[in-house]
Structure 1
Amino acid sequence: MHKVIAIMGALVLLTGCAVGPDYQTPATPEPEVFSEGRTMVAGTGDQQRFWQGFDDPMLEQLIDQTLTANHTLEGAVARYERAAALLYGAERDQWPSVTASATAAEQYLADSEQSPPGDGPERVQRYQAGLAANWELDLFGRLRRATQAQRAELEAAGADIGAVQVAIVGQLASSYFELRGLQQQYQVAQQSVALQQQSLDIVEARVEAGRGTEFDQVRARAQLERTRAELPALQAGIRAAMHRIAVLTGQPPMALVGTLSPRGTLPESLPVIPVDSPGDVLRRRPDIAAAERRLAAATARIGIATADLFPRFTLSGLIGSVTADTSDLFTGPAETRRVALGIDWTFLDHGKVKARIEAAGADSRAALANYQQTVLEALEEAETRLVRYQRAQQREERLEQAMNSAEKAVKLARARYEEGFIGYFEVLTAEQEFTATRDATVRSRTAVTLTMVDVYRSLVGAPG
């Protein structure tokens, strides 16, 4: 017994090494600045709650509801809780497991089982109670590597929650601004209908006075009906955006139709976008954090597989009481104790173990490749969205100027038409240009707002 205890003590002292590679965060090349970011003014607002910069209480209310009721986010939280439970189990595997047991048995022995053989049935009673403990001595780090892997998975699941938050907040904000843009487009289309109805009235009055032609009247009516035909499609788009917003907030599609039906507007002024260095952005993005943590987990699993090359040592012990009479339980004569050291070494499965190690190594390389690709795609996404935002702003400025000129052209064309200096064709052309330019201006304003939301999604971390 003393020899067993001495051997076990020596083995416990050896517990400390862990086979397999130790994880190191891979170095990632980072540009010093974003190519378009240097033209933007740094801001001091709360990047993680960027939607507050739009100063829209309805948007803030919807996003707050989304962050508490979205079912996709609930699923991510549940996966995090699962990972936390698995980590707790992995940590407990490193400690002894203790079980309590008790049995009461009664047996009648046959003559051949009796000693010495008897001439009739013999009844044997046996009562047993005790505590048994088993402890795997983690000499080669199998259990520690398993804990490392599961802890990294837990951290990855936490980062996944952040990534889902960024995604659903971005979807909600985009859907909301799409709705407001469509509502403005619908208003513009109605204004165009009113404008073209006025033109038709003018043409009809001139026809009745003998100063116009039926051809002008037909063309004016065709232009009016073509503009009216755009209204149903805009109404369908408005309703679809409302449905999307409701589902993102965890409600049935029709739940917010009444709330969102009053026409809203796009932001008159957009918040300043703070642009940090690419390195800061990469460290803040939850999708990159999740990919990096899964790489750490895959690296730890190489150690788990490698540990199978070595024997497993198990320390077990028992303390209890065994007696034929319940009154003798837990007395000195009925006491029983056992201490044992077990060795389990499947050395004949060396080939299978090597295969598992190679598979774990391949998983680690795949995780590394995924991490590196995630970093590159994050940089690409940020660069692309920044340049789109810059160009969308430039386009909007030019369309504003074009719309002002087109509006003046309509007024001049009408005046000249009423005075008889030009035909209706020139008026029709001017109105078509004005209608198209005004609609394009609203679409451009929507696009600028949406690209700003996309930029924030690329640059910020999870909502705090």
Structure 2
Amino acid sequence: MSKVLFATLVLFGTLGCSVGPRYKQPNVSLPSQFTAPVSAGSTDTSAKAEPSDPEFWHSFHDQELTNLVERSLSANNDLRSALAHYDAAAALLRLSKFDKYPTVTASEDVGRQRLAANQAFGYPRNYRYSTSSINASWELDFYGRIRHNVEAQRQQLLASGNDLAAMQVAIVGELATTYIDLRGQQERLRVARENAANQERTVKLVEATFNAGRGTQFDTARARALYESTTSRIPALQSAIAIDEHRLAVLCGQSPDALVGELEVEKALPDLPESIDPGTPADLVRRRPDVNASEQRLHAATEQIGVNTADLFPRVNFGGLLGLMQYHSDTAFDGVSPTNLAGLSIDWSFLDRGRVKARIAASRSDGDAQLAQYQQAVLLALEDVENALVRYARSREQDAALRQAALDSKRAADLANVRYKEGATGLLDLLDAQRVQLQDEDAYAESHLESAADAVSLYKSLAGGWPQRQPQPVRSGKP
């Protein structure tokens, strides 16, 4: 008994210590600023992706886009799934915290037994018995195993929260990109239809000229070929529009055809911000939820090393029992007696240190892997922003040039039409001017679409689209 008490005193003397490494935030070398260019001639820096105002879609000044984003954030099924994973991580954290406290259970055992004659040894063969007890057990966390585990679960919960935020960024980014593509394809469809209408009038003019005795069938066929080539663009554009409408509905948690009637009304592309200030790389690393989630998993892996290291030391459990035992053969109260038990249990795997050390080595390797993943996440985030800045700046420059080209080619086509009617130019010049007009106007519409999509990509890389709200949770049996 004295040896047990001595061992207990020694263990209590070590109360509060914690084995295993302590987490330290890794140092990552970051540039002081991004090097990608800003849009040529742009000095407006009013459109910023600030963590305090992350809802970037408002900068496009499009109420339809805003409404769609609101729907997706509340009803998107991928977001609801991510929220369910977050709730599961929260439940596991609560579960791990209970290990800090005693576990108390109650039990009741009632039965009746008849012994064989050669088993009774002269005692009554029939008897009834019942046992009522309250059991308690408590692991004394001398070496921090439970504390390390609780902290690991807390970090996993934080990582799940950042996974949810990253999913919000991805969903809003995809929705905004799809909406912009929808409006861009509708603009391209408008351009194709307007050019087809102009070319159809040219065909009629050429046919009228031929019927009047001027021109040739070759001129008529050439004019009609250009018209038919332009009209052939329309089905592909209509298909792209329908696909975008279906995708937007699914992103909002609805059936693919749910938003067709609402979105088929053509609207212009949203306004584009003149410039977007990316802030500093240090701000980006603090703001990006995927980077934060990677760091929190690194922290959890570090805590797991402590959990496994604690297995090198004794695990001490305090147990107790209070109860009543009844054993009777005649009356219901025959043989009632109280029972109690209190004791310390020491489990020490000192003879199994090889397995324990193997688990520690495995957890250290996992920590090294998580560190490399965190460093890679930082580099990928920086690369993402640098690429997005380059694409947006260059697409704005291209957009400005193609806009002017579209205006000039339309002016040239209008003049060619007037000159052809007056007989000052030939049909070839008119058809060539109309062909160039279609190419330039379609190129400008597509470029403007790409510029808007590049703006969304830049906001997305800066972690825009992370609103301070959560989607509606899914409950079992309540889809």
Q: TM-score range by the shorter chain?
A: over 0.9
Equivalent AA in structure 2 for residue 141 of structure 1: G
Number of residue-to-residue matches in the alignment = 459
420-429 or 157-166: which moved more? Answer: 420-429
Is residue 19 from structure 1 mapped to residue 33 from structure 2 by the alignment? no
- State the Cα distance separating 1:11 from its structure 2 match: 2.9
C-alpha deviation, 1:209, in angstroms:
2.4
Paired position in structure 1 for 2:144: 141
Q: Deviations over 1:345-374 (max 9, x none)?
A: 233332222221111111111111111111
Instruction: Provide the rounded CA distance (Å) in 1 between the counterparts of 2:378 and 2:221.
Output: 60
User: How far apart are residue 88 of structure 1 and its match?
Assistant: 1.1
What amino acid does structure 2 have at the position aligned with 1:344? D
Identify if the C-alpha distance between structure 1 residues 112 and 327 changes in structure 2 by more than 3 Å, giving closer, same or farther: closer
Which residue number corresponds to residue 32 of structure 1? 32
Contact (CA 8 Å) 1:155, 1:293: kept in 2 or not? yes
**1: distance between equivalents of 2:305 and 2:44?**
45
Any idea what the Cα deviations from partners look like across 1:402-453, whole Å, max 9, x if unmatched? 1121112112222332333332111111111111000111111111111111
Other structure's SS at 1:93 match: helix
1:71 aligns with 2:69: no
Residue 273 (structure 2) pairs with residue 267 (structure 1)? no
1:178 matched to 2:168? The reply is: no
Distance 2:271 2:54 in 1: 22
8 Å Cα contact 1:54-1:271 kept in structure 2: no
SS in 1 for 2:54: helix
The answer to whether the Cα contact below 8 Å between 2:107 and 2:133 also exists between their aligned partners in 1 is yes
1:73 maps to a residue whose letter is: L
Where in structure 2 are there 5+ consecutive unaligned residues? Answer: 469-479
Using the alignment, how far apart are the partners of 1:6 and 1:89 within structure 2?
33
Of the candidates 169, 172, 177, which is equivalent to residue 169 of structure 1? 172
Aligned to 1:463: 467
- Give the alignment partner of residue 98 of structure 2, picking from 92, 97, 100: 92
Structure 1 residue 75: deviation in Å? 0.7
Deviation at 1:2, TM superposition (A): 8.7
Aligned-pair CA distance for 1:377: 0.6
Cα deviation 1:63-120 (Å, max 9, x = unaligned) = 1110011010011011111111111111112221111112234444556555xx42x6
Q: In 2, distance between residues paired with 1:271 and 1:91?
A: 51
2:174 maps to a residue whose letter is Q
Q: 2:325 aligns with which of 322, 325, 330?
A: 322
> CA separation in 2, counterparts of 1:113 and 1:449?
90
Q: Gaps (5+ residues) in structure 1?
A: none
Counterpart of 1:128 in 2: which secondary structure?
strand
Structure 1 residues 320 and 85, CA gap change in structure 2 (3 angstroms): same
What is the SS of the residue equivalent to 1:324? Answer: strand
Written as runs of structure 1 = structure 2, the 5 A alignment for 1:349-360 is: 349-360=352-363
CA distance in 1 between counterparts of 2:201 and 2:355 reads 85
Which of 295, 300, 304 is the aligned partner of 1:297? Answer: 300
Specify the alignment match of 2:191 in structure 1.
188
CA distance in structure 2 between the partners assigned to 1:220 and 1:145 by the alignment: 79
The residue number in structure 2 matching 1:48 is 54
Q: 1:151 deviation in Å?
A: 0.9
Deviations 1:156-204 (A, max 9, x none): 0000000000000001111111001111110110000011112112222
Q: Choose 437-446 or 203-212, whichever is displaced more.
A: 203-212
- State the match for 2:472 in structure 1: none
Aligned to 1:201: 204
Give identity over the alignment, percent: 42
CA-based RMSD of the aligned residues comes to 2.3
2:318 alignment partner AA? L
